[in-house]
Amino acid sequence: MDYKSGLIQDGNPMENLEKQLICPICLEMFTKPVVILPCQHNLCRKCANDIFQAANPYWTNRGGSMSMSGGRFRCPSCRHEVIMDRHGVYGLQRNLLVENIIDIYKQECSSRPLQKGSHPMCKEHEDEKINIYCLTCEVPTCSMCKVFGAHKACEVAPLQNVFQGQKTELSNCISMLVAGNDRVQTIITQLEDSCRVTKENSHQVKETLSQKFDVLYAILDEKKSELLQRITQEQEEKLSFIEALIQQYQEQLDKSTKLVETAIQSLDEPGGATFLLVSRTRKAWAGIVEASKGCQLGKIEPGFENMDYFTLDLEYIADTLRAIDFGTDEEEEEFIEEEDQKEEESAEGKEEGKKFISLHSFIPSSLHSFHNNMRYLL
């Protein structure tokens, strides 16, 4: 609190000093003991205790039956939150400097004569000080107005009594407002904490959900790669088998072509002796017959090139994915029970010979077992 700068700026240092010594709660000069808050503002200990009790209604004074460890309230000047220990306001440090200044100020005021005009005077009776309060008209007035003037028939009371009563009432109102502000500030703090916790929980749930979907994506990618690999393997086996047949037929074709050329050359021989020597009798014809029989080396069955048995029934899985939603534990248990029941029914259907193609299809690993195992595809 900068007393010096305020005193220099004001033409009347004593009046300015008095303003600096006014308690913001009771609006009167500080009453000893004066306590200083952590924010460096001062309060009468009584006023500090009033607002502390209003902000902490369940905290008890010294000697009370209840025991609590500390409490809190807000400075009425700057709204700084003051956190108390178990001693309450009695744990606050006294400001001895301010108390000494108050003592010096009171001594100075008592030694100085009352200046004219320092006390308000009655407008109707210029020589009379305003010293009573008209309760009927609710205005301060002087004794002459009560005896001879406009307030002759009104009810009056001593000015000081009304003054103290209204100041006390105002102080109580201020304490209630301060306590109300503290409660509102507490609610605001709680709501802000709720916002923060809500954001944190939402972020955590989003992260968990994203991780679960990432796991699903990984499973789908892995299964996709696996199934594609199995199709590729089947394709390579079929192509290898077909290419081997082509190679065999091509070799047989080359042999037959050479034999045909030899037979044609034999037919061109005009002489019988020469013809018989070239063709070496019946062995050459036997080679031609065997070559013609070579066309029965091997063949593929009709539909060998089809890959339709790699069909997946994903409709029910797609329906399950579309039905994904947030639910309670009870709903999840019911879903698991339904899935178990479906699996049991599916197992019974398999035993009865109801074979169908699904995600877990069995794909033959060799061409030899392809036709025999195709009806067992699941």
pLDDT digits (tens, 9 = 90+) for 290-322: 655 555 667 788 888 888 888 888 888 888 889
Instruction: Supply the DSSP string of 1-48, one letter for each residue.
Output: --HHHHHHHSS-HHHHHHHHTB-TTTSSB--SSEEE-TTS-EEEHHHH
Within 268-281, where are the H helices?
A: 272-279
Tokens of 295: 């066309």
What's the pTM? 0.44
Q: Round to whole Å and give the CA distance between 355 and 375.
A: 7
pLDDT band at 225 (very low <50, low <70, confident <90, very high): very high
Residue 140, SS3 per DSSP: strand
What is the mean pLDDT of the segment spanning 117-121? 67
Q: Which single residue is written with the structure tokens 């007035």?
A: 141
Beta 34-36 vs 42-44: how paired, if at all? antiparallel
pLDDT tens-digit series, residues 201-211: 999 999 999 99
Residue 218, SS3 per DSSP: helix
CA distances from 253 to 122, 247, 295 (A): 142, 10, 9
Nearest to 20 by CA among 35, 42, 39: 42
* Predicted pLDDT of residue 355: 36
Judged against a pLDDT cut of 90, whether residue 351 lies above it is answered with no
Tokens of 106: 């009171």
Tokens of 151: 């307030």
What is the mean pLDDT of the segment spanning 108-133? 70
Q: Round to whole Å and give the CA distance between 263 and 51.
A: 128
Q: Round to whole Å and give the CA distance between 208 and 275.
A: 92
Q: What is the mean pLDDT of the chain?
A: 76
